[in-house]
Amino acid sequence: MRWSTYNTLFRCEGLGRFCYNALSSRLLEVDEAHYALLEGYEEGRAPSGVEEEGEFLQLLRESHVLVDEDEEEGILLVHRYRREEACFGTATLGLTICPTLRCNFRCPYCFEASQQDGGFMTAETQERLVEWVAADREARSLSVAWYGGEPLLAFDTMCALTERFLALDLAYEKAGLVTNGYLLDDDKIRRLNELRIESVQITLDGPRDVHDSRRVLAGGGPTFDRIVQNVEALVASDYAGACTVRVNLDRTNVDGFLRLRAELLERFKGTKLSVYPGHVDVMGGQAYDSGCCLATDEWAGFTLALARRHWVFPPGGFYPGASVRGTCVATRRQGHVVGPDGELYRCWDDVGRPSMVAGDIRAEGVITDPVLVARYVTGIDPYSDPECLACAVLPICGGGCAHRRLLVKYEGRNDIDYCSPYKTRLRESLEAYVFARRSRETCAALLRPGATAVERPAFRLFGAVQGDPVLAQEGTG
């Protein structure tokens, strides 16, 4: 047995000693004696007395902290297989539908290349879209994300398509809505449950003064007060879904996040509203200065600082998740972004760019650029990339952002970083998780009658992706 390439051994000051393995995504907590054993394995020497640690060795083997020769290669093959299985699965058809690319705002950083152009999805295109979905004999369910432009400009189209989708012999799994919130009036709110919209994401850019300096109406004018009034109407209604406010941040407004978050959580105390920071990253191609954007590592540092100093965690927290890494709508065979003219894109970031059109629902065979599709699905496969295979965080990274990888590999955009923040911030992320977990354990123990100091075992599985309630709790609020 040998020490795994994918281990991270670390002390967390005042909190304990830990070993994380990226292949299993398991975090072990150990006492000083067992930490010394692990240091021995890390240094390539067999610790003395190890024969007496049968249970501990079994845990190390199960967690892939200790591996046999060639074992890691086999586990990575399983990871790759699961990625391909997810990419080529056909059970669920996932559509991101842009009924228009028009927008009633003029945000300077918007990546929509055609936000002032184009029309609305015609009745003919809607009919063809429904026919195309109905003709899919492999899909058993359908999920929809409404996007734009500003999708509420085409609310009638959303209603008409939903009615048609619900009538199909296909389970309508769920729908989500991404909107700037300005047009989300009472009439639209009343129809959200009927439209099966389970989540509404509304975007702000900071407190009123900051937001209104950046997110103005197309004809000029502020937008903050009306958006917040609409949020208030939404959370006070009988809407059964989740409402989140994403705060778009870059260097110019990052300092306003906590102020806005505090204002919103106080105003909407007792509701299901959640507020989280969103990373603005234009990646060039827009008039907005890309130098205003925080680099990936800087953004990771910002979110970690929010957790350490203010107990504000990103959605899902910092612990590496259990989802199949390296897959998203761009890499899935049954994932499509549908434009208002029936054009198909692979990624949300491609919307409005003619060079990134991969298909057309009106065309024979639908896919008009199979090379682009193949590049997204297989051409950027991280398990075919020697650099990724040599990276210790590949199992929890999955190759990073597919769109960014494609730009780097096929368009020579070497100024773009596509790697996951785990590459440079894994230990800090794990420490943030440990801090949250330990704090909750301590509080729970102290609240018990006759509470005494928390006793910790010599070793235990401290963090695992499956069945860990702390992972969900971290991301709230």
269-279 pLDDT, tens digit each:
999 899 999 99
- Answer yes or no: do 172 and 59 share one domain: no
Q: State yes or no: cis peptide before 149, omega within 30 of 0.
A: yes
d(CA 434, CA 419): 24
Lowest mean pLDDT among 118-122, 273-277, 433-437, 444-448: 444-448
- Answer yes or no: do 171 and 281 share one domain: yes
At 285, the pLDDT band (50, 70, 90 cuts) reads: low
d(CA 348, CA 338): 10
> What CATH number is attached to the domain comprising 145?
3.20.20.70
Whether 40 is covered by a domain: the verdict is yes
For residue 357, count other CB atoms closer than 10 A to its CB: 19
Strands (E), 116-259: 141-146, 171-179, 197-204, 242-249
Whether 395 is covered by a domain: the verdict is no
- Those residues whose C-beta lies under 8 Å from the C-beta of residue 73, and which sit 6 or more positions away, are none
- Answer yes or no: do 58 and 184 share one domain: no
- Answer yes or no: do 65 and 130 share one domain: no
Alpha-helical runs (H) found in 197-256: 208-214, 224-236
Domain count along the chain: 2
- Answer yes or no: do 24 and 152 share one domain: no
- Answer yes or no: do 71 and 98 share one domain: no
- Answer yes or no: do 126 and 218 share one domain: yes
Whether 108 is covered by a domain: the verdict is yes
- Those residues whose C-beta lies under 8 Å from the C-beta of residue 163, and which sit 6 or more positions away, are none
Whether 340 is covered by a domain: the verdict is no
Of 172, 174, 235, nearest in space to 202 by CA: 235
pTM for the full predicted model: 0.90
Q: At what angle do helices 257-267 and 224-236 cross, to 10 degrees?
A: 40
| Residue finishing a domain among 252, 271, 294 | 294
Mean pLDDT of 93-120: 81
Of 249, 213, 243, nearest in space to 230 by CA: 243
By the 8 A CB rule, do 103 and 112 touch?
A: yes
- Answer yes or no: do 138 and 239 share one domain: yes
| Residue finishing a domain among 241, 268, 294 | 294
Residue 338: helix, strand or coil by DSSP?
strand
Whether 452 is covered by a domain: the verdict is yes
Whether 341 is covered by a domain: the verdict is no
Range of the domain at 451: 2-75+425-474
pLDDT in tens, 441-469: 778 777 777 656 567 789 999 976 443 43
* DSSP 8-state secondary structure symbol assigned to residue 50: G
- Answer yes or no: do 71 and 103 share one domain: no
- Answer yes or no: do 244 and 276 share one domain: yes
- Answer yes or no: do 156 and 53 share one domain: no
Average pLDDT, the chain: 90
Whether 302 is covered by a domain: the verdict is no
| Residue finishing a domain among 265, 294, 323 | 294
Whether 438 is covered by a domain: the verdict is yes
Q: How far is CA 201 from CA 180, 222, 244, 250, 318, in A?
A: 8, 20, 5, 19, 21
- Answer yes or no: do 120 and 161 share one domain: yes
Q: Name the percent of the chain lying above pLDDT 70.
A: 90
